Structure 1
Amino acid sequence: MTCCALSWVSQKLRHYMASYMTHLISRMDPVRYIFCQHMPIGKLAKWQMLLTEFDIQYVMQKAVKGQALVDLLARSPVDDNPVPLWTYFLDDEILTIEGEESEDESGWKIYFNGVVNFKGSGIRAVLVSDSGQYYAVAAKLSFNCTNNMAEYEACILGLCLSLDMDVKDLQVISDSDLLIYHVQGEWATKNEKIIPYVGLVQRLADRFQERSTARCAFVEAETDEKPWYVDIKMFLEKGEYLERITLNQKRTIRKLANGFFLNKNVLYKRTLNLELLRCIDSVEATKFIEEVHTRTCGPHMNGFVLVKKILRTGYYWMTMENDCSKFVKKCHKCQIHRDLIKVPPTELNVMMSPWPFDA
């Protein structure tokens, strides 16, 4: 189609293109292939014969910096009643999502985090007063450490900052379950490098008026008991979307809905063989994995075979490959009765027999 359009334009604009050199700006590789081919055959030779009478020079299209802005304005036109930009984004908070504070939760708080990568290690902590004022501190570690050690270093930095400011009641908030349960004594500490950190954090916590309360600050999965396909089902049934979702999410839902089929109140997944797989939620999926893997005629197969067997039975959910792999790794019988790996951990080297000593 591109070559046909170019030939048609050259015939219509013959009186212009025959007198001047024409620069063809295009990102289509087939057009470039026609002009660069020395001995074309078939239809390529026909197209080249029609275009050789004109002085056409192929030029690659360069990047246009303003094109991204033009495309954005074209996709999002502004009408008489423009909607504020903040309505397109979810109300996601960084690190924590907190509601109204009660009298027991009010007071000084400390947030901390440690990062380790190939460039080095760094720690930071933020102390929040009861009046809402922030005190931030950061430091770079000059020694090699692990992620858990960096978390402990950041916690110690935050506790020392709190003691220097004469804080008596402090609430420690972290996203590390390991640190929280180690300090509270619920988990045993086996790593020799972490044991000194645990003892130091416990000693610093005892210097406060009340022992610091630590809690995890990450957001867990939603517990609204809605299945994973609720947005796809709503779009196929009513042509509507859930509340407070972005334009990209709407576009993704429309693309995903093309691979599903809704029959009354049951959602099915279309396969490449035009088969229909019944979509199930996470609760049914957990029971189904256990039934297929361990119960009736369950040969304790690996995760890949388990996924294939579930698909053959006619069921589907979005994260079935990841869920099956995790279930097989946690299966006790699979870990005991699986084939033993007899390959040595290191490569074996052939040793020459020693020469006898001379008498």
Structure 2
Amino acid sequence: MGTPRVVKSQAITDLLAQFPREEEFPLDDEVPGEVVMAEEVREQWVMKFNGSSTTHSGGVEVVLYHEEDKAVALSFKLEFPCSNNTAEYEAYLTGLATALEMRVKHLKVLGDSNLVICQAKGSFSLKKPSLAPYKAMVQRMEEKFSTFEIEHAPRNENWFVDALATLGSQIIFKRSIARIEVSKREESIIEVLKEKFREEQGEGDWQIPIKEILVKGDDAAELKMLKDYALVKEELYRRMLGGVLSRCVGQEEAQRKLKEIYDKTYGSCREVSLYRRLQRAGFYWPSMGKDAN
């Protein structure tokens, strides 16, 4: 794919409006045509993403395209400290949010971040609490698509998004004027999306009493019994062997994940059990072993 042309979309305008910033990314009025929504039943869009960081900020670039004349490009300068991995997740979630706003149902993702791609596919475990909110949001957003694929793209095949993400991380805004098509974002995309994708906990959810004990933190005996649990950004996690963090889920989400993982792996190598695949994907609930049999 060559350098994609930027096209207008009300869905993208609405998404950009959610981000606090001083400078908006101008959607090019000179480009004919308009990507309003992805309407075709089997229309698959491709998303490429990349993030980069410097000492005090980061850059995010996302390109979504269906055909050469159907492309959307977004670029952000992240006005908060972030690691390279955090910037990559910011880019990935920005792309997913954009695709959902456009009502894309079938998505193929290409990225050159080995950690993000492998954690999304379940081949890398989550150990860093700072990345836990990102992986949790990714899991909730990916299930919104009818079909979803994610693959690793070598850096030389991701040159366009790589260059713009690097540019976004290095540019310095002076006063309130910036004559470049890069938007400023002063908070993580997690803060923008968390209410929309929050998983409601029903009455009797097994996580509620554990969370209450951890929040209060005044009962040493109970805290000792719950030493394998941790709260990260109001989400409950269980520490597994090797320091792996598995996200705790309620019964409703658990049933969805059982079906999702089973459907994805049905007919594949039977040497790896459904329970083990759920573990690799980073989920936990007390009856997971029994439910997976």
Question: TM-score per shorter chain, which class?
Answer: 0.3 to 0.5
State the TM-score, normalizing by the size of structure 1. 0.31
Which protein has the larger Cα radius of gyration, Structure 1 or Structure 2? 1
Higher relative contact order (CA 8 A, sep 6+): 2
State the TM-score, normalizing by the size of structure 2. 0.37
